[in-house]
């Protein structure tokens, strides 16, 4: 797997289920809300948001933990948050030698953005 690529391009194996219809289209069902809320929740913590932003803004949309753990909390806490982001489907991780690299999952991000953008543009 080539890792030098950048965010925008969605490869087949990165396809993510269309989590949710645009916010303004119709009231979300309980299931849709459950799914979408998980992603929003994952970004609903300042530390996680900083970690995510640090990774997303890093070269090639990926970064080693050592490059981003300067967010004011202990290292175990950083690890904990990265795990949460991973569980939410926003990040993937890969060990390369001594270091572990985290990458953003572009498709999910795009889905969330579309969800909000459509909501704001419509109406």
Is residue 95 part of the contact set for DNA (CB under 7 A)? yes
**92-111 footprint of a copy of itself as x/- string (CB under 8 A):** ------------x-x--xx-
Is residue 20 part of the contact set for DNA (CB under 7 A)? no
Is residue 113 part of the contact set for DNA (CB under 7 A)? no
Query: What is the smallest separation between the CB atom of 99 and a copy of itself, expressed in angstroms?
Result: 18
Which one among 14, 17, 37, 94 touches a copy of itself, defined by CB under 8 A?
Answer: 37
Query: What is the smallest separation between the CB atom of 100 and a copy of itself, expressed in angstroms?
Result: 18
- Determine the 3-state secondary structure of 68 from DSSP: helix
Contact indicator for 119, 107 with CB cutoff of 8 Å: no
Alpha helices in the chain (DSSP H): 30-42, 46-56, 65-68, 75-87, 106-121
Residues in Cβ contact with 40 at an 8 Å cutoff, skipping those fewer than 6 apart: 112
- Range in contact with DNA (rule: CB under 7 A) among 2-10, 22-30, 94-102, 104-112: 94-102
Which one among 7, 19, 56, 65 touches DNA, defined by CB under 7 A?
Answer: 65
Contact indicator for 92, 105 with CB cutoff of 8 Å: yes
Query: 102 φ, ψ to 5°?
Result: -110, 140
If the CB atoms of residues 4 and 97 are measured against a copy of itself, the closer one turns out to be: 4
Query: What is the smallest separation between the CB atom of 76 and a copy of itself, expressed in angstroms?
Result: 19
112 alpha carbon, distance to own chain's centre? 10
């Amino acid at each position: 797997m080539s890792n030098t690529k950048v965010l925008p391009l969605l490869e087949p194996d990165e396809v993510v289920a269309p989590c949710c219809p645009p916010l303004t289209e119709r009231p979300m069902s309980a299931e849709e809300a459950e799914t979408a809320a998980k992603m929003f929740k994952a970004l609903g913590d300042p530390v996680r948001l900083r970690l995510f932003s640090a990774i997303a803004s890093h070269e090639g949309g990926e970064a080693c933990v050592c490059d981003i753990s300067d967010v004011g909390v202990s290292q175990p806490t950083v690890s904990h948050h990265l795990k949460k982001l991973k569980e939410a489907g926003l990040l993937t991780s890969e060990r390369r030698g001594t270091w572990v690299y985290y990458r953003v999952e572009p498709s999910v991000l795009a889905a969330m953005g579309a969800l909000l953008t459509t909501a704001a543009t419509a109406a």
